[in-house]
Structure 1
């Protein structure tokens, strides 16, 4: 057994034996009750959890409950790295402290432990705190002691269970923080923060900021306490800003245990126990901002010389110690995803920088993001649009991280812009136009001055900006037009016309808008990638025609639905069905309009299938069922759709550019 150990014995079993930086537990009442029940009925109980979640404190609190405890005395063992101790000598010291006269025979393997009944009341309690540095040795020691002393109870704290057959495992999770919309009162995480920040009035009055701090530190009690201790030198808003950039800077004084003095020390203690290949995988994976699959992890790690076959066991090891957490539902057909905790990610990035591997890891991550965007667009164009939306939702944090890195490292700008361009459907059809436009406007100055990629980026930025900034949209379309014409890119020419149609619609120039949409529908080739199909332009034309000629609008909508691309495009079909229902409504055929809108809604998932079109159909149905709510000027409200962050009287129109 490596690592020295101190042994304390206390016949009274009071809480003074188990010192800590702060007395008492906040937000852990249920876990404490569960641990007390487990100790009453089991001989071996292990409290497991990630670094800093409060395993030691919970164990000490339970061991110190002399008034309710069914044990006569307590013995605590604390490990000290760097001081070798002979396992037999340590066992003998523990036995003497327990008051046992048993003879410890060094070198003899312990027998296999069999399931045992609950121990009799009045026996001793052995507390083995933080056994991770000597996990295997402690497993053998505990097995031997339980066999020799039938009345003994053992309480262990570790980042993973011992793995013995009669072990009761209590998993300790971080404290939950409240959702921003929750106004029912402080969450358990916020309660702990407020308790440690007592005497600072800004903490008590700014509960929303406190909850944000707790979310940033992911509810880890150690980080919450260290963050609360900063309020003597900083304000809540300044604290939040610093935490958004990282967690490893959090430090505090007063703990006798080194790993409790800072977030970096806490995570560093985990890192020190990892094998070198696992450490390499850890720092490689720190480039991910969100959840990732095993395939993605292997791809990024391969850039730093890690064999792909070595990645799965490394992921398992990191998950066992709490560095990685499962993301999403388990047991489904979707590939398992992992998410690195913020503190572990910050620590890994520090190690990645120290190793001089940041550039390579970022390049591999950028290639991964671009491939994800290509796959998502392929799924969309193949008619698997719900799968495309799910993929973007899963990978969104990393796609956003790529764009942010590209603004600081221009070498990544081309990969970032290409990723944003492949996700045109997400920005347009799913109501994220403002976000997509902001990304492209930041990246455009970093791209080469000429070329098709620059022109496509200008078109998409313009298309997504038509509602928020028509002037900028017009300038970008004028810049993209010559390149598209000289290159003979009919798809880009047609899509520029579509964007011009939306700008004309924005000006209430319905005639010009109709001409541009008609030209776009006639110019965009069938199945042309990298943008909306001609069926979307036809659907937009049909909606414009509902102002002037409802019969023509119905004919145009039917043409849109008859296009080959519309059969596999939920967005194009939803727009065309909306145009038909709107035309019937404007023609006074309310019954038919209601029927069309309901049929269209029955086939749409509001989260994954063109959410804007879904909202538009809902509002149209409300207009049909409650005509008095819209007033006589309802027809004049038909304009391009609102942006996700705005409420507009034109929001029922789903033709997002």
Structure 2
């Protein structure tokens, strides 16, 4: 197997690390291949380093460039190689390259086979024969994928770093931003970017994912567009980037650079590329098999097609293929845009969009089931992995009414993601845009109404009451106790938004008594019981202690980590109010220690952290309303004595 080398995080110190590593490889190895995705700079770095090695173990460099020649017939590479070695004008296809190399006055040459993708198969055989027959020969290859020979040393180039705590560059500027600024100054003398313009440049580089060719083409557009306008254009689409300057046709536009690899793929790989471009985020192998199979591509062909796309730099694996978790893939943005163009052109986009809806429905149902059966960490992991495609499916449903009902069901099934975590605004906006597209009296619409009311309560309590008023009659007529109980819970949230703690407590008590145990699709009665304890702590400490104990011992709490966290916050808050700071701090720390640091923290974590801060500073503090949870503007608290306060 070839020896694969990757110089750590891309752009850690620009391209200096890659150049140094390639220089070392060329002086110590007979076969070096530089690989990477389209536009990453393989040819440029290989040519620069090879030309700069005056003291290399070879007498001369013989370049054989296939750029712009397209697909080849068997023997074309051999003929072109002999022509470059001997200086002949023409050579027959049936020619002995090893003999031509031996006949040279000094066979110790560096053969530079640039852009070998169109002749990849012939290149493998030719290089293998050369290395075996001519011990003095050395070969440098640039290609999107490695040759796969045993003597091969592979340097895989990654895009430039676009920003982060370990970014290199001058003055801490990320290498991608540094490159854009340098090229923009060459295009527009005196170009400067500060403040909003500098943030726009950083956004441009991140949108282009640090691909040097894309950054070069984008920097050239500063002649026509201000960087803030250019950032918006590229956010919507980037394959339009182009220039008449580059000599090579495939470097004249981002679309042609990506398309140069597309035309070399076999038909099944092209089909999988196009269909997988429907994924806006990461996806698993099994999901790709579900969505990409059909039309001459069988499900068992999809994994090998994904592997080829990874080798070509179109896909990037996000996990270790040999790790515990199943590997997930993400398509580069330029490749995805190119694939979507092909998908739409083939007329397959509606089918792919329909399959994405089915996939998202399955994800939402599984996540909701996991949440309701005590596997809440797994549910959050699943939603986080699939969130980009869930959002894309919802956006598409706004323009495709036939998908609106399914999208609304997904939103409602994922109620915990919008409510328990910091995603209220996004969830509310999706719900309020989809609800008018769906049948008003359907069970899904009724569930969506109470969820939308919950997410609207803080910004617009009156609007939340209107939404609840629309949901209440349908729930009563249907005899749906689960929805009736959840409407009562949201009424408690609305009352709490208006700082009416006693009314809120009555509604939470009604919700805890009405909602059936283990009813899917919303907060459990244990959550309402814990919310009751928290609110009672502001005006009835003894009743709050009883409610907190009931919440902790509630049958649903055992399988509901969120309800348990709320109940533990209530207990800690009560201990703090009674003056037992040490005991309250200990309870709060234990509750926080049970949270998974790899997942976003639920709202109750903010209340626990604030409680610990109040204890350590000697502040009496109030109830952290965010814990209920309650969408908020700023950190709002309800003080048992002074009433509402804002920090």
Do these two structures clear the TM 0.5 threshold for a shared fold by scoring above it? yes
1:45 alignment partner, SS class: strand
Return closer, same or farther for 1:159/1:651 CA change in 2, 3 Å cut-off: farther
Residue of 355, 358, 371 corresponding to 1:367: 358
Match of 1:356 in 2: 347
CA distance in 1: counterparts of 2:281 and 2:624, whole angstroms: 40
Could you tell me whether the CA contact under 8 Å between 2:319 and 2:326 is conserved in 1?
no
CA distance in 2: counterparts of 1:33 and 1:425, whole angstroms: 50
Return closer, same or farther for 1:314/1:637 CA change in 2, 3 Å cut-off: closer
Q: Is residue 533 of structure 2 the alignment partner of residue 542 of structure 1? A: yes
Deviation, 1:624, is 1.8
Return closer, same or farther for 1:644/1:551 CA change in 2, 3 Å cut-off: closer
* CA-to-aligned-CA distance 1:395-426 (integer Å, 9 cap, x gap): 11111111111112222211211111111111
Return closer, same or farther for 1:356/1:652 CA change in 2, 3 Å cut-off: farther
Could you tell me whether the CA contact under 8 Å between 2:360 and 2:390 is conserved in 1?
yes
Match of 1:38 in 2: 25
Residue of 180, 204, 223 corresponding to 1:193: 180
Task: Write out aligned runs for 1:196-215 (5 A).
Answer: 196-198=183-185, 199=188, 201=190, 203-205=192-194, 206-215=197-206
Could you tell me whether the CA contact under 8 Å between 1:304 and 1:360 is conserved in 2?
no
* CA-to-aligned-CA distance 1:558-614 (integer Å, 9 cap, x gap): 111222211011100010111111112212233332232232223223553752112
Task: Write out aligned runs for 1:93-112 (5 A).
Answer: 93-97=83-87, 106=94
CA distance in 2: counterparts of 1:361 and 1:638, whole angstroms: 43
Q: Is residue 82 of structure 2 the alignment partner of residue 92 of structure 1? A: yes
Task: Write out aligned runs for 1:469-480 (5 A).
Answer: 469-480=460-471
2:325 alignment partner, SS class: coil
Match of 1:577 in 2: 568
1:176 alignment partner, SS class: coil
Match of 2:147 in 1: 162
Task: Write out aligned runs for 1:608-647 (5 A).
Answer: 608=599, 611-628=602-619, 634-635=621-622, 646-647=633-634
Residue of 303, 313, 329 corresponding to 1:322: 313
Deviation, 1:638, is 5.0
* CA-to-aligned-CA distance 1:277-332 (integer Å, 9 cap, x gap): 11111111011000000111111123656311111111111111011101145533
Return closer, same or farther for 1:548/1:606 CA change in 2, 3 Å cut-off: farther
Residue of 520, 524, 527 corresponding to 2:518: 527
1:170 alignment partner, SS class: strand
Return closer, same or farther for 1:30/1:455 CA change in 2, 3 Å cut-off: same
Gaps of 5+ in 2: 1-12, 100-105, 641-647
Match of 2:70 in 1: 81
Match of 1:496 in 2: 487
CA distance in 2: counterparts of 1:389 and 1:368, whole angstroms: 17
Match of 1:445 in 2: 436
CA distance in 1: counterparts of 2:451 and 2:57, whole angstroms: 70
Residues paired across the two proteins, number: 611
2:538 alignment partner, SS class: coil
Return closer, same or farther for 1:652/1:423 CA change in 2, 3 Å cut-off: farther
Match of 1:343 in 2: 334
* CA-to-aligned-CA distance 1:437-469 (integer Å, 9 cap, x gap): 111111111111221111111111111111122
1:547 alignment partner, SS class: coil
Task: Write out aligned runs for 1:406-485 (5 A).
Answer: 406-485=397-476
CA distance in 2: counterparts of 1:140 and 1:43, whole angstroms: 15
Match of 2:207 in 1: 216
Return closer, same or farther for 1:464/1:86 CA change in 2, 3 Å cut-off: closer
CA distance in 2: counterparts of 1:553 and 1:110, whole angstroms: 89
Deviation, 1:393, is 1.0
Deviates more, 1:389-398 or 1:180-189: 180-189
CA distance in 2: counterparts of 1:214 and 1:559, whole angstroms: 54
Return closer, same or farther for 1:566/1:482 CA change in 2, 3 Å cut-off: same
Task: Write out aligned runs for 1:139-154 (5 A).
Answer: 139-154=124-139
Return closer, same or farther for 1:72/1:327 CA change in 2, 3 Å cut-off: same
Could you tell me whether the CA contact under 8 Å between 1:557 and 1:576 is conserved in 2?
yes
Deviation, 1:644, is 7.2
CA distance in 2: counterparts of 1:269 and 1:572, whole angstroms: 54
2:14 alignment partner, SS class: coil
2:145 alignment partner, SS class: coil
Q: TM-score, normalised by structure 2?
A: 0.89
Residue of 554, 566, 588 corresponding to 2:579: 588
CA distance in 2: counterparts of 1:227 and 1:622, whole angstroms: 48
Match of 2:109 in 1: 124
2:162 alignment partner, SS class: coil
1:197 alignment partner, SS class: helix
Could you tell me whether the CA contact under 8 Å between 1:550 and 1:584 is conserved in 2?
no
Match of 1:311 in 2: 302
Gaps of 5+ in 1: 1-25, 112-120
Q: TM-score, normalised by structure 1?
A: 0.88
Match of 1:248 in 2: 239
Match of 2:504 in 1: 513
CA RMSD, 1 decimal: 2.7
Residue of 43, 46, 56 corresponding to 1:59: 46
